[in-house]
């Protein structure tokens, strides 16, 4: 995600273990932990930015390390930051479901969307990481994977069906 694309959205930003709630109102207005701030970002080259933040100028270099991890060099100091939007937070919550349960496990939708493909059949044995369902949400395809070794007991959704957040997709045993 390009830093200039982060407009009109909510994010959780962690900088060196400090957490900030960012609500981007427009290209020039944000809220940081509920406080209104003015922001103007100019992209100088591929990784270099100049930012006017509350009437102060900052120049920094930002490099993306992974989908949510970045390294920012500011005034000769390097800072590790993570930027997660609502989709990332939902996926993390889904991935952190109880992985050790010996009872039936309901695999639930981490967000509303459209079921593009069911990748398993009833009775099929699955291992941790096996793709179960491909869900389209926010114009992106998200593969929902098994968090446990087990067997598909029941498939609760059909391909091309719309689903809601929290809806049960598959039951594993």
* Tens-digit pLDDT profile for residues 11-56: 888 887 788 888 877 778 888 888 988 888 888 998 999 988 888 9
User: Which ranges of 19-118 does DSSP label H, i.e. alpha helix?
Assistant: 86-95
Q: Is the pLDDT of residue 6 over 70?
A: no
Is domain 3-86 classified as CATH 3.90.980.10?
Answer: no
The pTM (predicted TM-score) of the whole model is 0.48
Task: Flag the least confident range among 23-32, 56-65, 154-163.
Answer: 23-32
Confidence of residue 122 (pLDDT cuts 50, 70, 90): very high
Instruction: Write down the domain spans for the chain.
Output: 3-86, 97-172
Q: Is the pLDDT of residue 8 over 50?
A: no
Confidence of residue 100 (pLDDT cuts 50, 70, 90): very low
pLDDT (0 to 100) of residue 90: 65
Q: How many CB atoms lie within 10 A of CB 166?
A: 13
Query: Which residues 6+ apart lie within 8 Å of 173 measured at CB?
Result: 104, 105, 150, 151, 153
Query: Which residues 6+ apart lie within 8 Å of 161 measured at CB?
Result: 114, 115
CB 122 within 8 A of CB 155: yes
**Among the CATH numbers 3.30.930.10, 2.40.50.140, 1.20.1250.20, 2.40.50.100, which is that of 97-172?**
2.40.50.100
């Amino acid at each position: 995600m390009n830093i200039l694309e982060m407009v009109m959205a909510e994010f959780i930003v962690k900088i060196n273990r400090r957490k900030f709630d960012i609500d981007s109102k427009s290209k020039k207005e944000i809220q940081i932990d509920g406080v209104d701030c003015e922001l103007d970002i100019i992209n100088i080259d591929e990784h270099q930015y100049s930012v006017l933040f509350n009437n102060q100028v900052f120049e920094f270099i930002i490099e993306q390390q992974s989908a949510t991890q970045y390294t920012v060099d500011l005034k000769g100091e390097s800072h590790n930051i993570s930027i997660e939007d609502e989709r990332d937070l939902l996926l993390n919550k889904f991935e952190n479901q109880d992985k050790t349960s010996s009872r039936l496990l309901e695999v639930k939708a981490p967000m509303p969307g459209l079921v593009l493909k069911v990748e398993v059949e009833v009775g099929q044995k699955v291992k941790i990481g096996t793709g179960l369902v491909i869900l389209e949400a926010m114009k992106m395809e998200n593969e929902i994977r098994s968090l446990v070794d087990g067997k598909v007991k029941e498939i609760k959704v059909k391909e091309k069906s719309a689903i809601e957040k929290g809806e049960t997709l598959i039951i594993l045993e």
